[in-house]
Amino acid sequence: MNRTQNYNLCQWEAADKVQRTDFNADNAKMDTALGGIADRVAALEAKQPVELRRIKLTGATKRITLSLSGIDVTQYDHLRLEFRDMELSLGYLGAQVNGLTSGYVRMNTNGMSPSASEYASVGFQGNGRGSLEIHPLNGWVALRGEAVSAYPNSTKTPPYNISASLSWSIHKDVSYTGLTKLELISTTADATLAAGGEVVLYGMPK
């Protein structure tokens, strides 16, 4: 028996045996798909964020990849990636779009001059939470990272440092409508993101 490309629905040939279980399985798949579409439409009409992707880390990794394939970004004012309970063993968290490892221009809100980089800054270390917003800007893509975290420091009482950051980055070779992939990365070679963290991508209403 052949299957459809997107939802793996039955496509019977003349010689195939038609079974009730196949119909029931197909109806369940279609009900789930149509329910998801209805939820997204309702969220858009109510001007509520629409959940687009969710990833829970089940093991340590240096890179979290979210495909934006199938997402019509023009429906949304901007995208917002939230991360929670994220643990980075060393260094900082950065972001890359469309697999590009250069061409980012970063600026912190403390007035420092823009600097070229291989990633957009999110600016989190230790155990933290925060967000990365992705905006259109004059045909470019602009990324706004915001995070707060705590990391160990044996000379402090309590024995940790608190770090908060806010930064903007742009990439002139990528447009908002040209986005295909978003990645969170460890910017230190020997550092990893621990299991247990979660990232959720939302489409923010216009």
Each residue's pLDDT expressed in tens, for the chain with a length of 206 residues: 788 877 787 887 878 787 888 878 878 877 777 777 777 777 667 778 999 999 999 999 999 999 999 899 999 999 999 998 888 877 788 999 999 999 999 886 655 567 888 999 887 667 778 899 999 999 899 999 998 877 666 676 776 777 788 889 999 899 999 999 999 998 888 888 889 999 999 999 88
Q: Could you tell me the CA-to-CA distances from 63 to 31, 53, 181, 192 in Å, in that order?
A: 34, 16, 12, 8
175 SS3 class = coil
As a whole number of angstroms, the distance between CA 28 and CA 99 comes to 36
CB-based contacts of 123, cutoff 8 Å, min separation 6? 92, 93, 145, 146, 147, 163, 165, 166, 167
For the beta carbon of residue 137, count every other beta carbon within 10 angstroms.
15
